[in-house]
Structure 1
Amino acid sequence: MNNPEQHPATGAPPEGTPTPLKAIIEQARSARQHHTDDLFRRLGRGERLTAGQIYDTLHAHTVCTWWLLVARHIEYADSGGLRPSQAVARFISWIAPYATDPIPPEPAMLATAPRADVERAPALDHLERSLALIRQDAARTFLSQAKTLAVVCSAEQSPGASTGQETTA
């Protein structure tokens, strides 16, 4: 429990998790930490944040959260009896729709907005659109990583040892 990265609430991969999955989770965790540290360092110095820095941080957080949820799902779903490939396959089916979600239309400038909402309302509209685009990109990243994981795991399996269920992702 001394290492916060291994705390159960973070979704640390349980024992027996394939090495490629552990590597993807660690890569996602590292990217999230890097972008978060960079953002807070810049804020601490009073620097303005760029849209790119915010985008990268939110993207990294989204991808990392999904992979950590996969790890938690492996550990806790079906009383810990869920195979990693089955957990990944479940998340692929849950996350795939995000990759093709319709993006809200470009916000129109509302000339009739109340005085208090002249800046806030359009900013929130743009932010909603931006978050949808980040979520869509994060879904494509997750799905690409999951596809790579399935290829690597199937290549690592010996042909005689397979039961046909290991690589459903």
Structure 2
Amino acid sequence: MNDAQQPPATGTPTPAVPASLEAIIEQARSARQHHTEDTFRRLGRGERLSAEQIYDTLHAHTVCTWWLLVARHIEYADSGGLRRSQTIARFISWIAPYATDPTPPEPATQAPASGADSERGAALDQLERSLALIRQNAARAFLTQAETLAPACSHQQTPDASPGQEATA
């Protein structure tokens, strides 16, 4: 795949192009596949992975997983009784809180003591913060894509509705 054919890192469709669920899912799968193959190719060559490569891979996997869950839910849930717009509204309400989750505080910049345990603890603190930021960004990308499918669904969700309560489409 050359640079002109590479999927965008965020997996977000171009706003001017009307989106279909199938197109968004295919784009998410393609981005996930591209980043996974790139990661394994680099590891196979003994290269170090950059933070950007890891971020893009985890982001692509998160967005793709959510879209595959939407597709599975449409196909199997409620014996096909839910319309696509209802299912998308349900996932919007489930994923929206991730976009606004409070970011964990910056880990302390001073390492308390040297040693494998303290280094591991510091690394895990940094990783937890990083994963939270990746989830936030993936949630925003998912919600942006979902709005291209069902703009009415995303706006019918009331601010006081709890997660898991979908808007009616």
TM-score by length of 1: 0.75
Partner of 1:34: 34
Cα shift at 1:168: 5.6
Partner of 1:6: none
* Deviating more after overlay: 110-119 vs 74-83: 110-119
- Matched-pair contact (CA < 8 Å) for 1:42–1:49: yes
Give aligned-pair identity as a percent.
81
Q: Distance in 2 between matches of 1:56 and 1:75?
A: 28
Partner of 1:139: 139
**One-letter amino acid matched to 2:92:** I
Cα shift at 1:97: 0.2
Deviations along 1:74-102, whole A, 9 cap, x unmatched?
Answer: 01111122211111100000000000000
Residues 9-158 of structure 1 aligned to structure 2 (within 5 Å): 20-109=20-109, 111-112=111-112, 115-151=115-151
**One-letter amino acid matched to 1:128:** E
Deviations along 1:77-136, whole A, 9 cap, x unmatched?
Answer: 111222111111000000000000001000014654573312110100000000000000
Q: Distance in 2 between matches of 1:141 and 1:60?
A: 10
**One-letter amino acid matched to 1:53:** Q
Q: How many residues align?
A: 137
Which structure dedicates a bigger proportion of its chain to helix? Answer: 1
Query: CA distance change for structure 1 residues 87 and 113 in 2, over 3 Å: closer, same or farther?
Result: farther
Gaps of 5+ in 1: 1-18, 152-166
Question: Which is higher, the Rg of structure 1 or of structure 2?
Answer: 1
TM-score by length of 2: 0.75
Q: Distance in 2 between matches of 1:86 and 1:113?
A: 53
Deviations along 1:9-37, whole A, 9 cap, x unmatched?
Answer: xxxxxxxxxx7000000000000000000
Q: Distance in 2 between matches of 1:110 and 1:93?
A: 39
Gaps of 5+ in 2: 1-18, 152-166
- Matched-pair contact (CA < 8 Å) for 1:75–1:82: no
Pairwise CA RMSD = 2.0
**One-letter amino acid matched to 1:118:** S
